[in-house]
Every structure is written in C-alpha cells, then in structure tokens.
Structure 1
Amino acid sequence: MTTTSAPPAAGTAPAAGNGRRHRAPLVQRILGKNPLGWLFGAPYIVYVLVIFAFPLCFAVYMSFFDYFFAAPGANVDRPFVGLDNYIQALTDPAVLQSFGNVGIFLIINVPLTVVLSLLLASGLNSITRFRTFLRTSYYVPYVTASVAIIGVWLFLFGQNGLVNHILGPLAPSPSWLSSPTLAMPTIAIYVTWKGLGFYILLYLAALQNVPTELYESAATDGAGKVRQFFSVTVPGVRPATVLVLLLSTITGANLFTEPYLLTGGGGPDGHSTSPVLLIYQQGIQQGHPGYAAAIGVILVIGVLILGWLQNRFVGGRD
C-alpha cells in the first residue's frame, strides 16, 4: 500500500535542504540591498564627518586639557585638567549670563518664528494675485548679507535712529540696543524678521500636502476660516512645525553675528553676549581654546536636550 505525504500547509515556507536559513552575503548585510545608495550619499557623509563630526570630537578632546594653539610641528605642553574647564564654565558668571541671554532670545524668537511663518504661509498659500512677488519679498531679507541689513537696523534703532525720532519723548532711554533690558529682545525681533522667509517656504511646502478635501469637509460641517486653520492646517503641518522649532532653536543657540555687529560685541555689560560669541572671545581673542571648547560642549548638550523635548512634546509618536 502506497502512502502519499500531505502537502505543506498554506503560508508555510519550505524547509531548506540542509535545515539552515539562507544568509545574505556579507557585503549585502553591511551595505543593504541597494549599496549604490552609499555611493550617492558618500559626498554628504564625508561632508558631515569632516565639517561636523571631527570638529565636535576634537572640541570634546580639547575641553579636557589646558589647550592652546601653537605653530604646526611645535612641541608644547598641554596639561590634562580633567573636568576643571567644565567646572569653571558652570560657575563663571559671564558664561551663565550668556546662556541666560540666549534663553531670553529663544523665548522670544522661536514662538514668533513659528506663529508668524505659519500665518504668513497660510495667507500666501490662499492668495492668487501677486503671489510670486510677495513670496520673493519675504525671502529677500534671508538671502541678503547680514552686514548690509544690520546697517539699516542701526539706522532705525540707534540712539539717534529713525524710530526714536518718530517716538519722540516715548523713545526708551537708553536706546534699544544700548539698554540692558531691550538689547536682546531687539536682536530677537531682528533675527525673526530676517529668517522669516526661509521658514515660510518650509510651511508653504508642507501646506501643499494638506488635502483640500479636509477643508471642504470642514466647511460642510460649518467650520469657519479660523476653525479650519486650527482643526485642519495646524495638525496637517505638524511635521513642518517640529522642523521649524528645531531649526530656529539651533540657529538661535548659535547666535553670533547679530550681537557682535549690533551691540559692538555683546554690550551693554554683556547683556547681549551669546555663548558662541563668548566662545570666540575666550578661544580666539583671549587664547583659552580648552575653556572655550568646554563652553561649546555644554551648549551642544543643551541644544540636544531642547531638541529632544521639542520632538517629544510637539512631534508626538512620529
């Protein structure tokens, strides 16, 4: 009597002849199924390693030494100091003040950037006449050299500037950029205005991915323009909002050109000094690169924490 074996159950993969699962080649396991992608991504990978990764690692190394720059090939002593640079940075009133200054800047700049860029992008996305002209107009300050625009702002907000002439007796004394209270908020407003065009473009790109059917459905349910904005537009561009938050935070934390030019290097009395400006002063002007590197590492850690919090509470599960 002949017996026939039952066919394998549906969805069951046939067993290999030697009882082992087939393993992909070593090159495929390392480079993936499309190794050609590494070739196209290689230039950017090299760029990141050379421009960002290596300087960051070298800064961490410098921060543990009493480091100073010397001529190439010179044999100089750079003693190991451990955490002394970090302890000094965390107890230095000038460093703490600079971080407080950039905190004030971010509190003003980041919310203004998100709100204004989203509102303006929504308006530009809905108009039909002069759309290209208006989009270009908002983008022009972003691509214009900072030195040229800062000259205009000094003309407007200087001690004898146009704004003070218009305000007359209502003008603040000391003036906007000379006041310990108003210097950093004025810089924050300037940076917000200058960079607004870039973030408007990000939101305009995100708005193209919001289905028009959602607006039509909301209008059918009786939602007005304001309700549609908060119920459809804001949730629809949430990934772009996370990106704008992250980029504006990183840009603000790296603030340098604006206080250096607008307030003459962090004045008055250090009330507009940013951590990056202090790093330049300590590392280049005063010859303490190890100490400056420690300040930079602390700044990087702070920005990473802020970025994680933003992604955690604004980005959600995405």
Structure 2
Amino acid sequence: MSLVTKAPPAAGSAPAGARGGHQKGDRRRRALGKNPIGLLLSAPYLIFVLAVFAWPLVFAVWMSFHEYFFAAPGAQVDRPFVGFDNFREVLGDPDVIRSFGNVGIFLIINVPLTVVLSLVLASALNKAVRFRTFLRVGYFVPYITASVAVVGVWLFLFSGAGLVNQILGPLAPEPSWLINSQWAMPTIALFVTWKQLGFFILLYLAALQNVSQELYEAAATDGAGKVQSFFSVTIPGVRPATVLVLLLSTVTGANLFTEPYLLTGGGGPNGASTSPVLLMYQRGIEQGSPDVAAAIGVLLVIGVLIIAFIQRQVAGGDES
C-alpha cells in the first residue's frame, strides 16, 4: 500500500473554504458598505423619498403621455396613450410660455441677489461684531415664519397707499407694484429673497468655519486688504457652498407657488406673475386636466436639471 502525503499549504495561503468565506464577505461589504447599520437607519428616509418624490415623478411622467382625467375611486376607465400630444398642447399654449418667462425673470433677480446678499451678510456675521447672535436670529426668523403671516406686511408696504409709495412719492409706479404687469414679478422676487435669506446665510456661515484663518493672515502679509481677501480667499473657500446655494435657490424658485397665489391673487395682473407650478394647479385641479399639468411639470423638471447642470459647471465643476 502506497502512502500519499499531501504537501502542506504554502505560507500565507488560506484554505479554499476560508477564501470562499472572504469572497462572500467582500461581496457583502461592497453591497452593504462598511457600516450596514447605516442602511437600516437611513431606510425610513429612503422610503419617504421614494413615496413622496420618486413615485409621484414617475407617475407624472406616465400621466403626461396619456389622456388622464379624474374619476371616481375604483372606477375602471380607459386612459389611452397619446404620445407627445400633451406636450404639443403645452408648448403651443401662450399662457404656459409666459409662465416659464415669468419664472425666468424671477430666477434672474432672486438667485444672484440670494448668493450675493447671503455671502456678504454671512461674512459680516462671521466676524466678532456686537449683537451677532441677535442678528443671526433676526435674519433667520422670516425664513421660519409662514408666508401667509408675512404676506400681509408686504401687501401693506407695496399697496397703492402703502409705505413704499409714500416714501417714493411721484417716483412710485402707477399702477402700484403688485398690480403692475412690469413690477409684479420683481416685487415677488424681492419678497422671496428677503424671506429665504436667513437659511442661505446659515449655509454660508457653516462653510466659512472651514476657511482657514492662515489664508487670511497670508493674504494680509502680502498686502491684501479686506476687499481683496474677500475675493481671493473667502469666495474660493466657500465655492462648494455657493454651488449648493445656487442649486437650492433655483429649485425653490422654480417651485414658486404660494407667493404669487397670495400676493397677486393667483398670478395677476393678467398672468404677469403666474408661475408654472401655479399654472399646473389651475390646469390640473381647477380645470380638470391633470395630464396637461403633468406635461408642464415634466418640462419644468427638465429645465431645472439643465440650469442646475450649467450652474455646477460654471460655478464649481467637479471640484465642488
């Protein structure tokens, strides 16, 4: 009988079963990450995003390609596929085109003002000034206050006999701001900028904490003043926050609804302040054409994505 002896495994090599276990463990780590408990903790928010944002968006896209109308719960109705008919109707509607132009005017005013004012004010509040905490709270209070509560103040300020017109006297526009087709949307843009400024100031304050003071000291050593330090150190240092502010202000501006609905009585005068979201409400709920409203929403999402991509490339690119 011959004796066959197995050679011992080479040093540093693992048994086949152990290698298989390691491979399974590697695949599990790649699928679940280094901390699987994080997936469990984030699962409720993921479910919330899927239920509140992802599913309605998918359903809106489906509606935009079908002849959809409201029916009684449980009723079986035919909703045929119509292709791009809803989009052709939307793109041929002058009211829709005007609403996108209105929100474009809003974004042109609101987004640059938001970025500039929030960055300048955050830089000032980041310094050791008196009443810094009081000022921070004061800027943030309008953001957390309901729009319905502060709309009355702006109606008083910008009405025909309001405080603003009394100060301007003969320079005040006629008709007044919110009933003037040229000034209605710029006035709304100023209102939204003032109301949301506190939130974006906090974003910049958080970003300014990560800008090293050594950079300011080096700039001062090179002879740079406060203004030069602001442009050469502060602005590059908060570039990722600037990209975020641009994106958030664009998204919130594109979803403009409450302010024109309350300030101008639903998009007046004569549609000069109608936003796409307000028009979606009017077409989908008031006029019973949810398929047309969904087509407007899909076009709005595409437009926001294009603008956000351009902003990222121009303002921050991949460095952000």
Same fold judged by TM-score > 0.5?
A: yes
Return the offset for 1:238.
0.4
Partner of 2:141: 140
Question: In 1, distance between residues paired with 2:304 and 2:36?
Answer: 33
Partners of 1:16 and 1:316 in 2: how far apart?
46
**Structure 1 residues 299-308 or 71-80, which shifts more?**
71-80
For 1:316, what is the secondary structure of its paired residue? helix
CA distance in 2 between counterparts of 1:300 and 1:60 reads: 10
Aligned partner of 1:3 in structure 2 is none
Q: Which residue is equivalent to 1:227?
A: 228
How far apart in 2 are the matches of 1:24 and 1:176? 67
**Alpha-carbon offset, residue 14 of structure 1:** 6.2
User: Shift in Å at residue 165 of structure 1?
Assistant: 2.0
Cα deviation, residue 287, structure 1? 0.2
The TM-score, its normalising length taken from structure 2, stands at 0.92
User: Structure 1 stretch 31-40 or stretch 262-271: which is displaced more?
Assistant: 31-40
- Provide the C-alpha distance between the structure 2 equivalents of 1:305 and 1:196, rounded to a whole number of angstroms: 24
Letter of the aligned partner of 1:312 in structure 2?
Q
Distance (Å, rounded) in 1 between the aligned partners of 2:122 and 2:86: 45
Partner SS state of residue 271, structure 1: coil
The separation in 1 between residues aligned to 2:144 and 2:309, in whole angstroms, is: 29
Residues in 2 aligned to 1:296 and 1:258: alpha-carbon distance in whole angstroms = 18
Which amino acid is the alignment partner of residue 316 of structure 1?
Answer: G
Q: Distance in 1 between matches of 2:159 and 2:205?
A: 35
For structure 1, the 5+ residue unaligned runs are 1-7
Q: 1:37 to 1:102 in 2, by over 3 A?
A: same
| CA distance, structure 2, for counterparts of residue 189 and residue 90 of structure 1 | 29
User: Where do residues 90-105 of structure 1 align in structure 2 (5 Å cutoff)?
Assistant: 90-105=91-106
Cα drift, residue 262 of structure 1? 0.5
State the match for 1:87 in structure 2.
Answer: 88
| Structure 2 residue 24 is the aligned partner of structure 1 residue 24 | yes
Tell me the CA shift for residue 17 of structure 1. 6.8
Question: Which structure 2 residue ranges, 5 or more long, are not aligned?
Answer: 1-9
CA RMSD of aligned residues (A): 1.7
Match of 1:4 in 2: none
Residue 92 of structure 1 deviates from its aligned partner by 1.0
Q: CA deviation at 1:33?
A: 2.9
Q: Deviations over 1:54-89 (max 9, x none)?
A: 000010111111111122111122222111001111
Greater helix fraction, Structure 1 or Structure 2: 2
* Residue 191 (structure 2) aligns with: 190
Deviation, structure 1 residue 44:
1.1
Task: Read off the aligned partner of 1:200 and give its amino acid letter.
Answer: I
- 2:291 alignment counterpart: 290
The aligned counterpart of 2:65 is 64
Stretch moving more, 20-29 or 238-247 = 20-29
Question: Alignment partner of 1:317: what SS?
Answer: helix
d(CA) in 1 for partners of 2:218, 2:33: 43
User: How many residue pairs align between the two structures?
Assistant: 306
Query: What is aligned with 2:121?
Result: 120
Which residue type is aligned with residue 274 of structure 2?
A: T
Is 1:245 matched with 2:237? Answer: no
SS in 1 for 2:306: helix
Runs of 4+ in 1 over 3 A off after TM superposition: 13-18, 24-29
User: Hey, what's the Cα distance between the residues in 1 that align with 2:145 and 2:30?
Assistant: 47
How far apart, in 2, do the equivalents of 1:162 and 1:69 lie? Answer: 46
In structure 2, the partner of 1:130 is 131
Q: CA deviation at 1:15?
A: 6.7
**Amino acid corresponding to residue 312 of structure 2 in structure 1:** N
Query: What's the secondary structure of 1:255's corresponding residue?
Result: coil
What one-letter code is carried by the residue in structure 1 that aligns with 2:78?
A: D
Match of 1:156 in 2: 157
Cα distance in 2 for partners of 1:15, 1:245 equals 54
Instruction: Tell me how far 1:213 sits from its aligned partner.
Output: 0.7
What TM-score comes out, normalization by structure 1 length?
0.92
Aligned to 1:65, what secondary structure does the other structure show? coil
| Offset of residue 32 of structure 1 | 2.5
- Offset of residue 46 of structure 1: 0.7
Shift of 1:42: 0.5
State how far apart, in whole Å, the 2-side matches of 1:14 and 1:190 are. 70
Q: What is the deviation of 1:192?
A: 0.4
Distance, in Å, in 2 between the alignment partners of 1:240 and 1:176 is 33
Distance 1:128 1:225 in 2: 16
Code of the aligned partner of 2:285 = I
Quote the Cα distance in structure 2 between the aligned partners of 1:127 and 1:251: 32
Q: How does 1:42-61 map to 2 (within 5 A)?
A: 42-61=43-62
Letter in 1 for 2:246: L
Aligned mates of 2:303, 2:76 — CA distance in 1: 35
Q: Which moved more, 1:69-78 or 1:257-266?
A: 69-78
Identity across matched positions, percent: 71
Quote the Cα distance in structure 2 between the aligned partners of 1:150 and 1:229: 35
